[in-house]
Amino acid sequence: MLYNEGMKVLDTLIKLLPTRTVYAHCDIPCGIYDPTPAQIAAHTVLRMMQFLKEAEGDINKTVRIIHVKEEHAEIVKHEIEIIWGDYFKEENSKDVPDLADKVWKILKLASKCKQGTDEAVAKELLTAVQEFAEIFWKSKGLEPVRIPSSYPTEGVIVSHK
């Protein structure tokens, strides 16, 4: 009983606190944005798709791989949504008029990776995220470069000079 009354008081105090809206991935706004975590997550999704072929018959391993695949597909979505929503501005739409479509495609591909096990879809997701990374670095006035990742997926990470 005392706990419930205390929670009511706390809820009331929280409602009385002044609020203001801030925009950034960490809500400060710090100005730190980087598409690398999305790329690493996309590589992980692809690698999990590859592992699923090898896990045939081992239900425990299969479940764990699926969990990681879905978790990293969600990380892709989260990281891309942060950059799209908090970093990119209206003027970027002038430079890349189909940017919204590219983001939409990434989000849909990540969802499709969560829903299935098609390695080709995971490769398409990785390619789309890398293209997004190139657009991001160009928007900052930096020249994008493709660096071999050394990951078992034999892909690259898009960074900048």
DSSP 94-154: HHSTTHHHHHHHHHHHHHHHHH---HHHHHHHHHHHHHHHHHHHHHTT--EEEEE--STT-
pLDDT in tens, 53-105: 888 888 999 999 999 999 999 999 999 999 999 899 888 778 899 999 999 99
Contact 76, 125 (CB under 8 A): yes
> Which two structure tokens, joined as six digits, stand for 50?
């590859």
pLDDT in tens, 48-59: 999 998 888 889
pTM reported for the whole predicted model: 0.81
The predicted model gives 10-28 an average pLDDT of 58
pLDDT in tens, 121-136: 999 999 999 999 999 9
Tell me how far apart the alpha carbons of residues 53 and 120 are, in angstroms, rounded to a whole number: 13
| Domains of the chain, CATH where assigned | 34-88+95-131 (1.20.120.400)
- 58 backbone dihedrals φ, ψ, rounded to 5°: -100, 95
The pLDDT, as a whole number, for residue 132 is: 98
What is the average pLDDT value for the chain, to the nearest integer?
A: 88
3-class state of residue 28 by DSSP = coil
Contact 36, 156 (CB under 8 A): no
The pLDDT, as a whole number, for residue 4 is: 61
Torsion from C-alpha of 60, 46, 81, 75, nearest 10 degrees: 30
Q: Which residue has the tokens 């990785």?
A: 126
